[in-house]
Amino acid sequence: MTLDSTAGTLALLRGLRAVRQLRPDPLPEDALRNILEVARWSGSAGNRQPWEFVVVRDRDMLRRLSMIEGANAGHLATSGAGIAIVIHPEVPDLDAYDEGRLAERILLAATAQGLGAAVGHFTGPGDTWAASGEAKRLLGIPVEFVLRETISLGYPAARLERTPNPPGRKTLEQLVHLEHY
């Protein structure tokens, strides 16, 4: 890796942000395929790979998913495509941990190709699963599988609103302890 490409890779990693203002234009097949290839190679505890992906491009379905009460995935409505992450549940804390690793890879693979991406969450406040159940019903996902998150993908809109409150991140001084706490 050259110095330039190292700097570029680090900038990609550091600069990843949620992009919730997406254009509904269809995604190129190869961009979507690249994202799914990167997702497929995500690490998981014991290499269980406890996931499957539902790729949603149908505009009506994206709109219906975006409107599910108790979910927080409004950005699916204008996305070019959504990926629903289907988890085969086994060990709850490992499942959620692995899903987070997978989701982050999907976000990075999208961003690396000039696309925007945002996480949508389908468990409600108090950890209710009603919204997840509704999304699974719409997508025909078996009830025994877990649907916690979708990823909205698309070309970024001309005007982006960044996540408020707080606008950025804690400083390293706030986060890092050298040698001991």
- Specify which residues 81 forms β-bridges with: 153
Q: What is the C-alpha R_g of the chain?
A: 17
Which one of residues 32, 120, 151, 153 is an interface residue with ligand FMN (CB under 6 A)? 120
118 part of the interface to ligand FMN, by CB under 6 A? yes
Cα distances from 38 to residues 21, 43, 177, in angstroms, run 23, 10, 33
Which one of residues 42, 44, 72, 113 is an interface residue with ligand FMN (CB under 6 A)? 72
Cα(80)–Cα(24) distance, rounded to whole angstroms? 4
Contact region with ligand FMN (CB under 6 A), list: 14-22, 31-39, 87-95, 133-141: 14-22
Helix (H) or strand (E) holding 34: helix 29-40
Question: Under rule CB under 6 A, how many of the chain's residues touch ligand FMN?
Answer: 11
For 72, which DSSP code? B
128 part of the interface to ligand FMN, by CB under 6 A? no
Cβ 29 to ligand FMN, closest distance in Å? 26
How large is the angle between the packed helices 3-15 and 92-112, nearest 10 degrees?
A: 120
Contact at 8 Å (CB) between 92 and 127?
A: no
Cβ 178 to ligand FMN, closest distance in Å? 26
Cβ 128 to ligand FMN, closest distance in Å? 14
22 part of the interface to ligand FMN, by CB under 6 A? no
Residues that bind ligand FMN (CB under 6 A): 17-18, 20, 72-73, 118-121, 162-163
